[in-house]
Structure 1
């Protein structure tokens, strides 16, 4: 079997210190590998997301980006996009302060702003719908203030509580939740500390990720929700996982600007078949 080596980076996203935020693997490519190889690399990395990108031949974007969990390809991922932008800006010698990325979710942008990077992502529309008692029981049985779904990923469930302590202290039955929720369950509440407008967590046992540490996509759901609820254009969210991370959100029509920092943990090489 013939093989080739490729560079790989592991970046902690939505944090300015190591061992916090959400780790993502980033593998720059010159050309696409077969899909099954991309999936196997993501499985081998065993992180919530591995991002791959290639230079784009078109004028609309600089790169074409894709994201894989250990089990499936996903159409949108915030922290792995932030991690990829960090690598492109700081390790690949990209000139300029704006990167355009073609993806399954359209053209995304990443703009350098000092030590931070601002992502421009699509707002995720929601729909009001009841949530089963079984799901609420799997979360711990606490009565929520509101529940709804996400239109673009209609198996996502959103649970709104009125107390941040409930969100921080949830200990879901992941086995039950994975069977009841086709994709993910977002829980959120008003912020409980100065400078935090909202607090959230994201459980995805159905996709092999019990809890995602810090999620850009999720803030395209809860950011607009709390913007409307609080009457603010700018909202700051804290994702209360064990690692934790802060995401600043600015709502701009049907787009959400997500601002965060990133730090490099690892640079190395992987060996894959040709």
Structure 2
């Protein structure tokens, strides 16, 4: 049987060392595969996100990027974009300092900053929402001081707490959250330590991911909120998952600049039957 071979990389994003941050798969393509095949590859990789990108011949971008969870395609993903930029800069020989990426969320950029990479992403505004009883029950906490939805998608719930310990020690009932028509639930609180400004977590079992380890998109939600609350333009977020990770966030109008490191874990080949 003949086959087509595709390169694949796995990168730990938003971390300076292996086995921390958020792992993403990156699959560079010469041309797009059928959507169903890309979804199957993402399911086989069994990571929170697999990024695919294709070089753009002309226009405002250098590459077109798409992201898939094990079950669906999503319109925006930070850590897999950071992983893709890391591969382009460090494995595929891109020599410039900035990469422009066409996506379902518009043009995104990834810029070298020493060893780090800075992503320029759209901020995600919030609209106030009444906290549904089933979500409060699933989180085993009705002590949220505010509840919102992400306005651009009308999907993710965002619950704000006044105690970081509540966020850190939360043990959600994932079977309940998996039944939500909405995409996921973000919980966030002001920091309880000097090394960050806010502590957050992101649960989305409806997309096949119980808890995302370190999420760039989520910080486009919580960073503008806490920047407004604290009066700062630069805020440090800590995502309190089991792997954990910090993201340096700078809010500039309707954009959020996410700064982080990445580490290569593996590179190999995918074999697809012709």
- Per the normalisation by structure 2, the TM-score is 0.98
Deviation at 1:95, TM superposition (A): 1.2
The 1-side partners of 2:148 and 2:82 are apart by: 27
How many angstroms apart in 1 are the aligned matches of 2:158 and 2:217?
Answer: 13
- Distance (Å, rounded) in 1 between the aligned partners of 2:134 and 2:69: 26
Q: Is residue 53 of structure 2 the alignment partner of residue 53 of structure 1?
A: yes
C-alpha offsets along residues 213-255 of structure 1, whole Å, 9 cap, x if unaligned?
0000000000000000111000000000000010010001110
In structure 2, how many angstroms separate the alpha carbons of the residues matched to 1:133 and 1:95?
A: 52
Q: Are the aligned partners of 1:134 and 1:180 in contact in 2 as well (CA < 8 Å)?
A: no
Q: Verify the 8 A CA contact 1:135 1:181 in the aligned structure 2.
A: no
Provide closer, same or farther for how the CA distance between residues 171 and 181 of structure 1 changes in structure 2, counting only shifts above 3 A: farther
C-alpha separation in 2, matches of 1:46 and 1:180:
21
Corresponding position of 2:236: 236
Aligned to 1:136: 136
**For residues 1-274 of structure 1, what are the structure 2 equivalents within 5 Å?**
2-180=2-180, 182-274=182-274
Distance 1:75 1:117 in 2: 21
Query: Structure 2 unaligned runs (5+)?
Result: none
Aligned counterparts of 2:39 and 2:132: Cα–Cα separation in 1: 33
Structure 1 residue ranges (4+ consecutive) displaced by more than 6 angstroms after TM superposition? none
Gaps of 5+ in 1: none
Aligned to 1:175, the other structure's residue is in SS state helix
Q: CA deviation at 1:181?
A: 5.1
Q: 1:181 to 1:167 in 2, by over 3 A?
A: farther
Inter-partner Cα distance in structure 2 for 1:177 and 1:96: 43
- Relative to structure 1, is the Cα distance of residues 137 and 52 closer, same or farther in structure 2, using a 3 angstrom cutoff? same
- Using the size of structure 1 for normalisation, the TM-score is 0.98
Deviation at 1:204, TM superposition (A): 0.1
CA contact (8 A) 1:236 1:249 kept: yes
Q: Which whole-Å CA distance do the structure 1 matches of 2:98 and 2:182 have between them?
A: 36
SS at match of 1:180: coil
Q: Alignment RMSD, CA only? A: 0.9
The structural deviation recorded for 1:58 is: 1.7
Q: How many residues in Structure 1 have an aligned counterpart in Structure 2?
A: 274
Q: Tell me how far apart the structure 2 counterparts of residues 86 and 149 of structure 1 sit (CA, whole Å).
A: 31
Secondary structure of 1:266's aligned partner: strand
Shift of 1:127: 0.4
8 Å CA contact 1:55–1:63 kept in 2: the answer is yes
Q: Distance in 2 between matches of 1:257 and 1:77?
A: 13
Instruction: Answer whether contact 1:157 1:181 (CA < 8 A) is retained.
Output: no
Q: 1:180: Cα distance to partner?
A: 3.3
1:142: how far off?
3.7
Q: How far has the Cα of 1:59 moved from its partner? A: 2.9
1: CA distance between counterparts of 2:205 and 2:81? 22
